[in-house]
């Protein structure tokens, strides 16, 4: 009887974990859209093995994640936001979720497709653009609370709203300089991430679809 009860309690814990991870992705969308990035980074596990990979580079450790979102993206509490934030809207919805919580309920893996829209006069995007991407995310329970642990943001399309996304998008990146990180916190990627183009084939494993698993190695 005790063994059966333990299994039922673990099953309930895994259901609760899936909802907690779902809520974290929702909070990411809400907080990042409103540039409340100081709050967003507190949703991350404060571990040395935390990391985030963006299309422009990889950031390791909790401090690396904070650097990516607060130092590079900014926060609405900053004085500069009063000008930078005018007309700014970067909204990234989360859809088509697949969430797998480990059998031991200590970690979880998930993937999402994100249908986003962006406009930022300060960055030359006055007309607005469709910005779609895909996420692979791993979560971990830290001090009894579910947190972000690892995240990969894969680009998909970046297209002006008034132009077919199926056409080459040279004009949306025209005049851009290569990404620079004055504080040196980014690890540049070995090769550019895949993005849609008329001559490309959609990848089979971006993002990787998580399968059921019992435990995370080393955890």
**pLDDT, tens only, 138-171:** 999 999 999 999 999 999 998 888 888 888 766 5
Residue 64 contacts residue 185 (beta carbons within 8 Å)? yes
List of domains in the chain = 2-173 (3.10.450.50)
* Cβ within 8 Å of residue 36, ≥6 positions away: 75, 76
Phi, psi torsion values for 194, nearest 5 degrees: -65, 135
Element (H, E) at 141: strand 125-142
pLDDT tens-digit series, residues 46-77: 999 999 999 999 999 999 999 999 999 999 99
pLDDT tens by residue, 166-189: 887 665 544 445 577 878 889 999
Cis (ω within 30 of 0) for the bond into 164? no
Residue 137: the pLDDT is 98
pTM over 0.95: no
């Amino acid at each position: 009887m005790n063994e059966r009860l333990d299994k039922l309690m673990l099953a309930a814990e895994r259901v609760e974990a899936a909802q907690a991870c779902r809520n974290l992705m929702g909070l990411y969308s809400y907080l990042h859209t409103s540039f409340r990035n100081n709050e967003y980074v507190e949703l991350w596990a404060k571990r040395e093995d935390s990391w985030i990979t963006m299309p422009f580079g990889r950031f390791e450790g909790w401090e690396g994640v904070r650097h990516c979102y607060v130092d590079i993206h900014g926060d609405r509490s900053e004085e500069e936001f009063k000008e930078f934030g005018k007309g700014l809207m970067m909204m990234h919805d989360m859809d088509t979720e697949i969430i797998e919580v480990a059998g031991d309920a200590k970690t979880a893996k998930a993937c999402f497709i994100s249908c986003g829209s962006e406009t930022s006069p300060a960055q030359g995007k006055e007309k607005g653009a469709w910005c779609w991407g895909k996420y692979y995310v791993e979560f971990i329970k830290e001090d009894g609370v579910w947190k972000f642990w690892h995240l990969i943001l894969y680009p998909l399309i970046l297209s002006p709203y008034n132009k077919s996304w199926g056409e080459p998008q040279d004009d949306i990146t025209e005049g851009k300089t290569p990404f620079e990180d004055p504080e040196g916190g980014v690890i540049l990627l070995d090769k550019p991430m895949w993005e849609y183009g008329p001559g490309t084939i959609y990848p089979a494993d971006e993002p990787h679809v998580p399968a059921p698993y019992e435990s995370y190695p080393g955890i």
